[in-house]
Structure 1
Amino acid sequence: MEFGVTFQTDPPAWRVVELTKRAEELGFACAWTFDSHILWQEPYVIHSQMLSATERIMVGPFVTNPATRDPSVTASVFATLNEMFGNRTICGIGRGDSAQRVLGRKPATLGQVERAMHVIKELAEGREVDYGGTRVRIPWVRGGRLEVWMAGYGPKALSLAGRRADGFILQLADPVILEWTASRVREAAAAAGRDPEGLKICVAAPAYVGGDLAHQREQCRWFGGMVGNHVADLVARYGEGSEIPTALTDYIKARREYDYSHHGKAGNPTTDFVPDDIVDRFCVLGDARDHIVKLRALEKLGVDQFNVYLMHDAMEETLEAYGREIIPALTGAASTPEEGP
């Protein structure tokens, strides 16, 4: 298992750059950022500085969408960063929850996501695409490489990820739901004639290392509300009693409203409906030993990357604990206690 970390691009942007440098020193393989241009600062501007300040770590959005950015522009951004920094970008993509809804728009359709994944990957790697009836390619791309990982929860999204994406992103760390989603992604990959084992599985969730479990829960309860936005869409589309596990859908029955001005932030006042057991299941909490136990269970289910959502009041402490204790335990790599922030 490898490890990623996701940052919100709250100002000052230079703090994200410094945290990325430290993440690389501590053994993280990827540094991701949210992509919601009204709520947070523009990620691709910051990505350039994250890449410039580091040597190996991969950088990308978690996740972008095909609605707020034209896919051909997104492809050119990745191609440019890769030309500058040596194919060190990765593209996470989804339908666009907060990025669209804060503008009063609906998320993109899965059809739009599918077309965007094709356009972004092909153009960023230097190949020609049919773009609305016009054949185009980026002529200056030489040797470009870009993996595109797709986020989703519902049956149709899982099928699309299996058929077309290089990786599948599940934004929660519940082993039961992981097993259900990953099996459907792999089944779709096999049905499409792809190697199911060649498709990466990434689990992303808040991780908080410490001793006060009640405090950790309050700092991470916002995540159940974020996931609840997607689950509410699924229930509206498929209805209750569908094939979607009740472990994912039951808890949103008490959901009333959601305030995007507090999206992805500790203390979100519209996530008080999220019960403690959901926080415990969806997140990774407790001391370092608790994290290691849960992550080993996820690894046994085929997770290739665990991505730490670092949005709480112990960002540096959790980052350090992962680098010094948790990553070495899962990868066998030596920790680096002599290195300072």
Structure 2
Amino acid sequence: MKHIEFYLALDIGAGAGAKMGIFSKDKTLIKEMMLPKSHYGSHGDEFATALEGIIETNVKEAGLDIKNLLSIGICCAGILASDGTFILFKNQPQFNGYNIRLALENYFSVPTQIENDADAGGLAEWSVLKMELCYWVFGGGWGGVWISKDGDINYPSYDWDGKDSSLHVSNEPGYSIALDKLKLKTLFYKAGASYDNFEKILKEDESLPSGVLVGPNGDPGTLRAETILSGPGRCRLFRAVVGDDTFYERFLDIHEVAKMHDPSVAGAFISKLSSMGVDAAIKTDELYGNILAVAAGTLINSCKKDGMKPGIPLCLGGKPSYALPYFGPSCQKSLSKIGIYNYLRPSVIDESGQSANMLGALVIAELALKKQN
């Protein structure tokens, strides 16, 4: 058995399952494994037991001694209490109120820390850039975090009481930033798109809550930013721009056309159309960029009051951010018009082909060990 000290990084996802990585002290990946979501169990203790079992099995298979485990870092999709208890665990409500951090810490007797997945991604970004930054991750929504130059999470959403006013715009931007409907109508009009059609698309989307047309704090004159600024949002925007026009379909094959209403894959096809110079896709991405600039302006101006340094990088992660070459120019141009010169850049973690969540969980494990020492 190898006498090697190691970290455990755990990414509890809302999708396929919980991914885990065993890392040496120099951050070399020793072994990867996954607990499928179907094995999570129906309550917290079952989940903890399943995780403990797969961890012990894989540590043994790697030829390591569990006694040499230094610490555990966890990232998860959801909102946490300050002690690590799940408040809102995305797609797994049966675990709300359970403290998986404490369960693993007690079982393995090592320092254990847990953070939201967007916060973890930001910590991963900081571990490379070592500077103050904003990290935005676009997926089903728009998550984010503001990391200080010393690597601290500014304004985390711990112990959220459910009120929009309690959220800091830097930490839950897609949910907490309001987009004014009158301003949106103007931007849509300039792009030759129908805002009314966009609202119709929102109302017809059965995956969205009934109050989707009402913004933060119950304001009917606004929308939550992530209705547009997300992977599904870009797909909805494209549909609003094209309306009944099917001209774009001649640039796609029959299978791609059939998937244009599926937000999980449509983004890649919209980018394909933009790269081919198809007018509808170009207009969509210009509009997306202009709306992102409005939301980014709200975030940055708010954070300046809380001490954010001017010009820090805005690092974009998640699959929808791969379209940055298409929506980035209009966003950057619109930001400069309102005197904001922060630059949008792809995540350095995404560029390296690594998992932001897994690397973030590793950074969290290191932080847990430092706090104990």
- Report the TM-score range of the alignment, normalised by the length of the smaller protein: 0.3 to 0.5
Q: TM-score, normalization: structure 1?
A: 0.35
Q: TM-score, normalization: structure 2?
A: 0.33
**Bigger share in strand:** 2
Q: Which has the larger radius of gyration?
A: 2
